[in-house]
Amino acid sequence: MANEIERRAFAMEVRIDTSAEMPPKMSGHAAMFDSLSEDLGGFRERIAGGAFAKTLQSADIRALFNHDSNIVLGRNKAGTLRLREDLTGLAIEIDPPDTQAARDLMVSMKRGDINQMSFGFRTVADKWAKLDGEWIRTLLEVDLFDVSPVTYPAYPATAVAVRGLQDAIKSASPPDENWRIDFMRRRLELAI
């Protein structure tokens, strides 16, 4: 099972930046730290901070629509997909191509029909625990293959959307310092 590619979808905010001076961008989070997934068949799952740190350094990751390799929206090695871990989770920014599929997706995102994200991965390290009679799997490290705006999410805490740069600046808020300290502590624990 450790060699199987897994996909997880979240209901998290993803935006499309559409200012007149610049081409559109999709941005948001493909994964959220410490947020429980829906029931995945007898267990729920969460992602530990730092789970993507290693894979982001070397992996060739694609942005797809609904994990469909025929609808490529961006790629980190091409510079059209940017990924980073922040205090919230796996932040993404995509420069979508000028294709019919990407234009159609952006229309659906602007309408709010598509507003969730997912990611495809292979587990490197995880931890299982039974909490309140429920099995919880914590992903500690993964190999990331793709991030995707999706129709159906597994995690109810992600999103994707289209919006202008001015809206992004207005809604930005400084992170809570206690969360940052806890996040850095967890990353150090993973490195040890």
β-strands 68-75, 159-161: how paired? Answer: unpaired
CA–CA separation, 108 and 91 (whole Å): 21
Distance between first and last Cα of the chain: 25
| Domain boundary assignment for the chain | 6-191
Q: Is the pLDDT of residue 83 over 90?
A: yes
**pTM, two decimal places:** 0.75
Hey, which bits of 48-173 come out as E strands? 62-65, 68-75, 81-85, 89-94, 116-131, 134-150, 159-161
Q: What is the pLDDT of residue 13?
A: 54
Convert the pLDDT of each residue in 53-75 to its tens digit.
999 999 999 999 999 999 999 99
Residue appearing with tokens 């025929």: 70
For 6-191, CATH number? Answer: 3.20.16
The string of pLDDT tens digits covering residues 107-154 is 999 898 998 888 999 999 999 999 999 999 999 999 999 999 998 767
Average pLDDT, integer, range 69-87? 97
Query: Left, alpha or beta for 182 (phi > 0: left; psi -120 to 50: alpha)?
Result: alpha
Helix and strand totals (H; E) in the chain: 4, 11
